[in-house]
């Protein structure tokens, strides 16, 4: 049975006119921690029913600063500090497996999925956008995998999904430099399908979703399954590599520096 | 080809307009974090504005240690 409407603390959704709109609204920039994960799991559970009534999913953010700044590093650091090392490692693996289940579910959804992004779309936020079939960005959107700055790699499926969509040279550039790039560049490399004026991403996504609704759903589902494989083995391997790296002292030092920074520039490399 | 001075002036004007600060309150050599009252997330917004305006790509690691408009302008100028 689908849940057509939900209002949570970190996110909400509504099904109207065959389109599911999933709004992210956790201050300050939709950082993905335990609360967001729980509510994303609620959404993933509701998808079975929602999919019978909808043809498209639009994911967007109501936060001014951007789509999603990534994992909740503050929560990650504080929780890992409060535990024995082995418990922290187990906790991280559990979190990753749970978020992968959610993102894999959205990735494989028979709906056509659209991420309408603006501002900061970093780390886990970038990974959330990458599970979608299309990314529509306003011209102030900025994309980044900053994980290397913390001694980590993306852990929410970013590497296998980026490899699925882009050439290896671009993937290496993003991962190894940790630099951010804007929507124009994202479109040039084939990541973003449309770049629109500031504040217009959701409107453009709705128009695109309405267009998609004109086509036969079974055909669209079949086409999507054919052209969008889920890189299962690589996704599992990414979790293993992330967990191996997380145990290193350099990571704790990097997290501590980020969380305790009074620097004006913690989001800059 | 933009001159360095013109680039600097355009950056000051863009920053003032985007962050709604009077242009006359900004000077080329002052700390733009303080002058604009912005944090690093907002600095990325400024970077995007500048990249779009000048049609350049400026890796954000080139902003490491950059805190004044004049140095920022030199970084942009080097990409024109």
Complex prediction ipTM: 0.89
Residue of B nearest to A197 (CA): B52
* Domain total in chain A: 1
Residue B56 has pLDDT above 80, yes or no: yes
**Would you state the structure tokens that stand for residue A30, as one six-digit string?**
């939709």
pLDDT, residue B74, reads 95
Interface of B with A in 23-62 (CB under 8 A): 33, 38-41, 43-45, 47-49, 51-52, 57, 59-61
Q: Which residues on neighbouring strands pair with residue A112, listed in sequence order?
A: A56
Mean pLDDT of B13-31: 94
Residues A64-103 pLDDT 10s: 999 999 999 999 989 988 988 889 899 999 999 999 999 9
Q: How far is B3 from chain A (nearest CA, A)?
A: 24
**Chain B partners within 8 Å of A197 (Cβ):** none
The size of the A-B interface in CB pairs under 8 A is 64
Residue A263 has pLDDT above 90, yes or no: no
DSSP state of B34: H
Residue A63 has pLDDT above 90, yes or no: yes
pLDDT, residue A267, reads 59
Interface of A with B in 62-81 (CB under 8 A): 65-66, 69
* Residue A102 resides in a domain: yes
Mean pLDDT of A160-170: 95
0.90 surpassed by pTM: yes
Contact yes or no for A146/A119 (Cβ under 8 A)? no
Which pLDDT band, with edges at 50, 70 and 90, does A115 fall under?
very high
> How many Å apart are CA A2 and CA A202, to the nearest integer?
24
pLDDT, residue B2, reads 65
What is the number of alpha carbons within 13 Å of residue A194 lying toward its C-beta? 19
Interface of A with B in 3-22 (CB under 8 A): none
**Chain A partners within 8 Å of B45 (Cβ):** 119, 140
Q: Which residues on neighbouring strands pair with residue A121, listed in sequence order?
A: A68, A143
Q: How far is A182 from chain B (nearest CA, A)?
A: 6
Residue A266 has pLDDT above 60, yes or no: no
pLDDT, residue A137, reads 98
CATH number for the domain harbouring residue A15: 3.90.226.10
> How many Å apart are CA B31 and CA B1, to the nearest integer?
27
Q: Kindly give the interhelix angle for A158-165 and A232-246, rounded to the nearest 10 degrees.
A: 140
Mean pLDDT is lowest, of A20-24, A261-265, B21-25, for A261-265
> How many Å apart are CA A139 and CA B11, to the nearest integer?
18
**Nearest CB neighbour to B40, from listed A140, A185, A264:** A264
**Chain B partners within 8 Å of A257 (Cβ):** none
Contacts for B37 with CB less than 8 Å, ≥ 6 apart: B19, B21
DSSP state of A258: H
> How many Å apart are CA A79 and CA A252, to the nearest integer?
11
> How many Å apart are CA A18 and CA A116, to the nearest integer?
17
Per-domain boundaries in chain B = 4-77
Mean pLDDT of B26-52: 91
Pick the CATH number of B4-77 from 3.40.190.10, 1.10.1200.10, 3.20.20.60, 1.10.1040.10: 1.10.1200.10
Residue A255 has pLDDT above 90, yes or no: no
Q: Can you tell me whether residue A200 is helix, strand or coil?
A: coil
What is the number of alpha carbons within 13 Å of residue A36 lying toward its C-beta? 25
* Residue A218 resides in a domain: yes
pLDDT, residue B24, reads 94
Q: Tell how strand A5-7 and strand A11-16 pair up.
A: antiparallel
Q: Can you tell me whether residue B68 is helix, strand or coil?
A: strand
* Residue A252 resides in a domain: yes
Contacts for B62 with CB less than 8 Å, ≥ 6 apart: B75
Q: How far is B60 from chain A (nearest CA, A)?
A: 6
pLDDT, residue A1, reads 42
Interface of A with B in 113-142 (CB under 8 A): 119-120, 139-142
User: Residue A196 sits in which domain range?
Assistant: 5-259
Percentage of the residues of chain A whose pLDDT score is greater than 90: 83
């Amino acid at each position: 049975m689908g849940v057509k409407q939900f209002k949570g603390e970190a996110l909400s959704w509504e099904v109207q006119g065959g389109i599911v709109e999933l709004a992210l609204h956790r201050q300050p920039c939709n950082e993905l921690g335990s609360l967001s994960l729980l509510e994303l799991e609620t959404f993933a559970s509701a998808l079975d029913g929602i999919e019978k009534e909808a043809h498209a999913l639009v994911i967007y953010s109501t936060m001014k600063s951007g789509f999603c700044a990534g994992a909740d590093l503050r929560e990650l650091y504080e929780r890992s500090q409060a535990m024995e090392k082995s418990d922290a490692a187990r906790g991280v693996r559990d979190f990753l497996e749970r978020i992968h289940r959610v993102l894999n579910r959205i990735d494989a959804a028979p709906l056509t999925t659209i991420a309408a992004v603006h501002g900061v779309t970093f780390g886990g936020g970038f990974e959330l956008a990458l599970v979608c079939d299309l990314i529509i960005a306003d011209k102030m959107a900025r994309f980044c995998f900053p994980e290397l700055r913390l001694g980590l790699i993306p852990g929410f499926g970013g590497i296998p999904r980026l490899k699925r969509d882009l050439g290896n040279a671009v993937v290496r550039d993003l991962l190894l430099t940790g630099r951010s790039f804007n929507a124009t560049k994202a479109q040039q490399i084939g990541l973003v399908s449309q770049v629109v004026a500031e504040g217009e991403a959701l409107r453009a996504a709705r128009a695109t979703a309405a267009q998609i609704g004109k086509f036969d759903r079974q055909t669209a589902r079949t086409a999507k399954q054919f052209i969008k494989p889920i890189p299962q083995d690589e996704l599992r391997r990414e979790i293993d590599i992330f967990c191996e790296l997380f145990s290193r002292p350099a990571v704790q030092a990097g997290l501590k520096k980020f969380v305790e920074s009074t620097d004006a520039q913690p989001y800059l490399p | 080809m933009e001159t360095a001075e013109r680039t600097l002036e355009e950056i000051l004007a863009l920053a003032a307009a985007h962050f709604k600060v009077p242009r006359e309150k900004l000077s080329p050599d002052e700390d733009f974090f303080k002058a604009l009252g912005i944090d690093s997330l907002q600095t990325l917004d400024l970077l995007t504005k500048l990249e779009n305006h000048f049609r350049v790509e400026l890796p954000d690691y080139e902003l490491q240690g950059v805190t004044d408009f004049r140095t920022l302008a030199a970084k942009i100028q080097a990409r024109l």
